[in-house]
Chain A
């Protein structure tokens, strides 16, 4: 054999895996605009009836509304705490610093299932259980660590001398934070927020335990799912996929280059 077959085999493998990875999403979109009650081939023509049903019945749309209340607020609070933690780790020395940077990522390692049960017990004790607020609280716990990780990536690129220069030029610490540090960290903040938002938007098990009647979208989808096969799910799935797709595009095109400091060349 004269030519090296491996690059070809590698690309073939890659193409097959992409097929596997995108199959469910393609099927979801395809059957959201199909007439079939029971999804299968041959196809029976195009129709928007499942979207109409979705908006007509309104339970999933209401749940989407709940999610669109909880996820942005939880993501915002988590990004705020995450920024403070990242900034503290980046700038200050304090006892237990190494320990803090280690344990702060623990909420990522502890499975949501366990956090869900733990929160259920605690929140029921203080009568905070079964509302959107409890979902918000639990999500803040889950989202802070990943948001902080992204912000830290960005802050790690900021030379300490920039802050010191601002102080030397007479800026107070607070002014420096507002006028120098925050603008520099902004791409990281946005990236952390978007990551936190998507995590919260998709989180199921904690919300299942603590949400009560104010279901978030994944929980509502799950309860429809275990009851019956409903093609409206394809429609809501397509809508959710478009939202996530836009976020992913924003992260890739705008934020990744900024977070990883590609802008330093022209700065």
Chain B
């Protein structure tokens, strides 16, 4: 920077154009589009979303306002009429159980790839696990409809095999929703969990084995604790995606899929139908704002647990 005595003309020539690599008009040329993109196309719509939640509808027109009417209406209808609260419960219930199953399922895949597949083949095995992610989600759900429906692939195979007493009857229940979601989530979770498992120091496992631990003990006492942060991260991801997804619930759950809680839609599905039946954007925005709050709750909870697990490892 303060190199006044330049060694030769070349450096001097460069110094004229470029005092330091950091002080350059190019910097602002690079940052300006990013700033515009972020503020105008990301920050503004989100801020607008939260703001519209306080608007009113008058004579089918949106009126800018600062009223809590939408939230009051939603709060008043939590368990009657539109049953927003029951949809919230349904969403949390389905998302949590789906996340649990999906994480366990994907953790098995990650472990199998890391420990049962020869090192040379691991990338190929991982690619196969990720490949379904590249096919269209809507079409995959359509295919699951074909497979799970009353006269679909599974039931027609059972019938053709002469097993008439057993019939798969899960279509338009939240079980079918979960199947679609687990199928959607698995590739994403496998990547997160494979990275976690692959980063575990193998010498720790060997040391445990040499000190007399059985394979099960080595898993329980070494691999599992060291995967904890990855498992929590994957879990929060799974819950967030499941909470925000309407497609599985609409196509496989049939909108209001049956589950332990009852025949209620998921919050995201309800948000979609609420909008298409009423086109009341202020209320839809209020519902979306509530969804953001639900997700922040999940993220914060996940971060707290992950932080605690991290401390336990390093401490």
CB-based nearest B residue for A113? B244
Which of the candidate stretches A21-29, A48-56, A183-191 sits at the interface with the other chain?
A21-29
Interface of B is mostly: helix
Instruction: Tell me if A159 counts as interface (CB < 8 A to partner B).
Output: no
Chain A residues 219 to 234 lying within 8 A of chain B, measured CB to CB, are: 221-222, 225-226, 229, 233-234
The reply to whether B24 and A81 form a contact with Cβ atoms under 8 Å apart is no
CB-based nearest A residue for B20? A93
The reply to whether B31 and A94 form a contact with Cβ atoms under 8 Å apart is yes
Q: Which residues of B contact A115 (CB under 8 A)?
A: 45-46
Question: 0/1 per residue, B112-154, Cβ < 8 Å to A?
Answer: 1101110000000101110110111111101111110001110
Instruction: Tell me if A40 counts as interface (CB < 8 A to partner B).
Output: yes
Interface residues on B, range: 35 or more
B95 to chain A, nearest CB (A): 12
The reply to whether A170 and B10 form a contact with Cβ atoms under 8 Å apart is yes
- Among B30, B108, B144, which residue has its beta carbon within 8 angstroms of that of A87? B30
Interface residues on A, range: 35 or more
The reply to whether A41 and B109 form a contact with Cβ atoms under 8 Å apart is no
Assembled-state Cα–Cα distance A256/B105 (Å): 26
| A interface residue numbers (CB < 8 A to B) | 4, 6-11, 13-14, 17-18, 20-25, 27-28, 31, 38-42, 80-81, 84-85, 87-88, 91-94, 100, 103-104, 106-107, 109-115, 117-122, 124-125, 137, 140-141, 144, 160, 163-164, 167-170, 172-174, 177, 198, 201-202, 204-205, 208-209, 217-218, 221-222, 225-226, 229, 233-234, 236-237, 240-241, 244-245, 247-248, 252
Q: What are 11 A-to-B residue pairs whose CB atoms are below 8 Å?
A: A7-B115, A10-B117, A14-B117, A21-B186, A38-B151, A41-B153, A84-B33, A88-B30, A114-B46, A177-B26, A221-B139
| B interface residue numbers (CB < 8 A to A) | 10-11, 13-14, 17-18, 21-22, 24, 26-27, 29-31, 33-34, 37-38, 41-42, 44-46, 48-49, 52, 105, 108-109, 111-113, 115-117, 125, 127-129, 131-132, 134-140, 142-147, 151-153, 155-157, 159-160, 183, 186-187, 215, 240-241, 243-247, 250-251, 268, 271-272, 275, 281, 284-285, 288, 291-292, 295, 299
